[in-house]
């Protein structure tokens, strides 16, 4: 059906609410806008749905949410005991998150599926934990993570507490495709609450999560003794981290924490930032100003659904620096492994898991402690699956997992990124290093002095809309048709295509890649540098990752700059 016809079918739908009809009427003469809103349906992938809020098939709205939920319900009803085990639903502070969560609950209830709905906004790690705690078959979080305020999304979790696997996501998507847009039944919310079809949850699940997470502290006595001495500034960036982060830090004895007042309350408009992203140094502007006032040397930030943690630290030169996800990951990794080793609690079968686009400094740290390190594809779901596999089999003891995009997980209580727990461990690391007269900046310098200088650069190319998606696909096709033999005059020694699962060495030998299929290309260079290019799975972006190792920081910076200039020029040409 042509986009104009789909638009007209929405406009003439008798059950359409009047606000949506009015919104559609405002674009009746805007053919490009109609095309953009209706040329496709939002894709349902392993991260569920994510899109701009508004009317249309290519937008996030109650009708798209209801249809997705009906597809999920149809799939659940084909799974043994799913109806009785039910679904847990959480939502963050984004615009329409509470409304979309309530619609999700009411569609599930209309299908006779037991439904647990958090009564207030909650974080991704709390939902992940609750799915297992409540023995649910699935979970849903209404969130678009750290995207700008015009976005929202719908993430599906499975019984193990992690995101739905590709096979499940594909089956759910097939079910969604069979559901007419305006057909899902919706239970009356108040009646469903009264009958027990929808159960509001919160306090009991929170308590279980806090108690379990407290148990991951490595130096609890030190933290309780010195926790009031170290000033920390925290910002939830208007999101769901405000309650759990502050509550957990307080419980373990970190009592000298000041929250940025302008960013403390939930607000889906995110008025103080361009995007509520702790990866962006600009997100720390208010936190750093407050830290100067309070005499703090560390700032912590979480995104709206509190699955990502950002850290800013003050150096000995009294300059503020925002740490990269790789740097935070390695500081936490070094803290965990060194503490366990010092306490003689480091398990012989310990394992650390990271994504293939994350720093190789982690490999060196793990090797020094005799701990196995495994690489998985980009996307925290792959880490969550490994955690579940090893906790189920007992083959290995999961210690820590991370990815460069500011996602960290210790202990495996959740099966997704957990910025609440990571904030606790980062604060604990501050205290442990402070006992040695060091800051986290000093700790990073010590790590480089021990293992060598490693650094990484990431660049995203944002191309929204249909034309943008076509350009991204074209760039990936061009890279495959004309594979580079060198970057910045440095020879490629291994070229990996994860879509073809093919690895080719410079001597011509070819082998199969064991990791799952993914639209990802990786090149390993003769000087130990590496490059990865992949489309984002959740945003309209092409992502470039570059990593290098060198004996000096100057050499490292030179290598990274040369590689970035070369690859950026190549990609810019392909994306024109």
Digit-coded pLDDT (tens) for 172-203: 999 999 999 999 999 999 999 999 999 999 99
For residue 368, give the nearest of 340, 396, 389, 397 by alpha carbon.
340
In whole angstroms, give the CA distance from residue 242 to residue 253. 17
For residue 142, give the nearest of 158, 172, 122, 166 by alpha carbon.
122
Half-sphere exposure of 134 (CA within 13 A, CB side): 32
- Provide the pairing of β-strand 232-235 with 198-201: unpaired
Mean pLDDT along residues 302-323:
96
pLDDT at residue number 46: 72
For residue 332, give the nearest of 356, 357, 311, 303 by alpha carbon.
311
Mean pLDDT along residues 90-109:
98
**Is 355 a residue whose pLDDT tops 90?**
yes
Mean pLDDT along residues 453-469:
91
> What residues have CB less than 8 Å from 261, skipping those under 6 apart?
none
**Is 539 a residue whose pLDDT tops 80?**
no
**Is 1 a residue whose pLDDT tops 90?**
no
Q: Which residue has the tokens 């600009």?
A: 282
**Is 219 a residue whose pLDDT tops 80?**
yes
Mean pLDDT along residues 30-45:
93
For the ranges 231-245, 274-288, 439-453, 537-551, the lowest mean pLDDT is seen at: 537-551
**Is 538 a residue whose pLDDT tops 70?**
no
By CB atoms closer than 10 A (0-12, 13-18, 19+), residue 94 is buried
Furthest C-alpha separation in the chain:
71
Helix axes 124-133, 203-214, angle to 10 degrees: 100
In whole angstroms, give the CA distance from residue 425 to residue 330. 12
- Provide the pairing of β-strand 232-235 with 257-259: parallel
Mean pLDDT along residues 34-49:
90
Q: Two tokens at 288?
A: 């750093």
Percent of the chain with pLDDT over 90: 94
Q: Which residue has the tokens 């894709």?
A: 43
Strand ranges, E, within 77-224: 87-91, 115-118, 138-142, 151-158, 198-201
Q: Residue 530 phi/psi, 5° resolution? A: -150, 155
Q: Residue 488 phi/psi, 5° resolution? A: 50, 40
Mean pLDDT along residues 360-386:
95
Helix axes 203-214, 242-252, angle to 10 degrees: 50
Edge-to-edge strand list for the sheet holding 298-302: 257-259, 232-235, 298-302, 309-314, 320-322
Active site residues: 145
Q: How confident is the model over 394-414, as pLDDT tens digits?
A: 999 999 999 999 999 999 999
**Is 337 a residue whose pLDDT tops 80?**
yes
- State the chain's mean pLDDT as an integer: 96
- Torsion angle of the four alpha carbons 117, 88, 540, 543, in this order, in degrees rounded to the nearest 10: 130
Around Cβ 422, how many Cβ atoms within 10 Å?
A: 29
Q: How confident is the model over 236-260, as pLDDT tens digits?
A: 999 999 999 999 999 999 999 999 9
CB 241 within 8 A of CB 420: yes
Dihedral sign, CA of 381, 382, 386, 387? negative
Q: Which residue has the tokens 């899109």?
A: 51
For residue 240, give the nearest of 120, 410, 151, 138 by alpha carbon.
120
Q: Assign 551 a pLDDT band (cuts: 50, 70, 90).
A: confident
């Amino acid at each position: 059906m042509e986009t104009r016809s789909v638009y007209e079918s929405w406009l003439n739908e008798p059950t359409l609410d009047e606000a949506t009809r009015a919104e559609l009427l405002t674009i009746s003469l805007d053919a490009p806008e109609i095309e953009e809103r209706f040329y496709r349906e939002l894709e349902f992938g392993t991260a569920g749905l994510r899109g701009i809020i508004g009317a249309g098939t290519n937008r996030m709205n109650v009708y798209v949410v209801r249809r997705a939920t009906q597809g999920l319900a149809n799939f659940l009803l084909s799974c043994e005991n799913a109806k009785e085990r039910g679904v847990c639903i959480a939502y963050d502070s984004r615009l329409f998150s509470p409304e979309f969560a309530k619609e999700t609950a009411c569609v599930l209830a209309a299908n006779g599926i037991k439904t647990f709905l958090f009564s207030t906004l909650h974080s991704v790690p709390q939902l992940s934990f609750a799915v297992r705690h409540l023995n649910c078959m699935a979970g849903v979080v209404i969130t678009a993570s750290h995207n700008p305020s015009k976005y929202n999304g719908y993430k599906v979790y499975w019984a193990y507490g992690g995101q739905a696997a590709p096979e499940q996501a594909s089956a759910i998507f097939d079910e969604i495709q069979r559901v007419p847009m305006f057909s899902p039944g919706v239970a009356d919310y108040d009646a469903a609450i009264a009958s027990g079809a929808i159960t509001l949850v919160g306090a009991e699940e929170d308590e279980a999560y806090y108690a379990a997470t407290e148990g991951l502290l490595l130096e609890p006595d030190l933290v309780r003794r010195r926790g009031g001495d170290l000033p920390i500034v925290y910002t939830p960036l208007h999101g769901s981290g405000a309650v759990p982060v502050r509550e957990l830090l307080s419980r373990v004895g970190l009592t000298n924490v000041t929250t940025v007042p302008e960013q403390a309350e939930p607000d889906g408009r995110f008025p103080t930032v361009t995007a509520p992203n702790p990866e962006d140094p600009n997100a720390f502007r208010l936190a750093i100003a407050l830290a100067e006032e309070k005499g703090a040397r560390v700032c912590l930030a979480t995104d709206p659904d509190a699955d990502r943690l950002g850290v800013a630290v003050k150096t000995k030169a009294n300059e503020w620096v925002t740490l990269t996800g790789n740097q935070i990951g390695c500081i936490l990794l070094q803290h965990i492994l060194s503490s366990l080793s010092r306490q003689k609690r480091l398990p012989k079968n310990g394992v650390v898991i990271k994504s293939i686009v994350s720093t190789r400094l982690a490999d060196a740290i793990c090797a020094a402690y005799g701990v196995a390190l495994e690489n998985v594809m980009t996307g925290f779901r792959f880490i969550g699956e490994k955690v579940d596999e090893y906790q189920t089999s007992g083959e290995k003891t999961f210690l820590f997992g991370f990815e460069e995009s500011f996602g960290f997980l210790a202990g495996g209580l959740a099966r997704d990124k957990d910025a609440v727990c990571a904030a606790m461990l980062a604060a604990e690391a501050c205290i442990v290093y402070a006992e040695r007269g060091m800051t986290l900046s000093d700790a990073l310098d010590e790590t480089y002095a021990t293992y060598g200088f490693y650094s990484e650069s990431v660049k995203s190319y944002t191309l929204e809309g249909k034309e943008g998606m076509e350009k991204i696909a074209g760039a990936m096709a061009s890279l495959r048709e004309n594979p580079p033999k060198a970057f910045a005059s440095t020879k490629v020694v291994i070229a990996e295509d994860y879509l073809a699962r093919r690895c080719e060495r410079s001597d011509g030998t070819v082998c199969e890649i064991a990791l799952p299929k993914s639209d990802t290309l990786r090149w390993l260079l003769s000087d130990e540098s590496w490059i990865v290019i992949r489309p984002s799975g959740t945003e309209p972006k092409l992502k470039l990752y570059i990593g290098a190792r060198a004996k000096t920081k100057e050499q490292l910076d030179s290598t990274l700059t040369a590689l970035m200039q070369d690859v950026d020029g190549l990609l810019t040409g392909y994306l024109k």
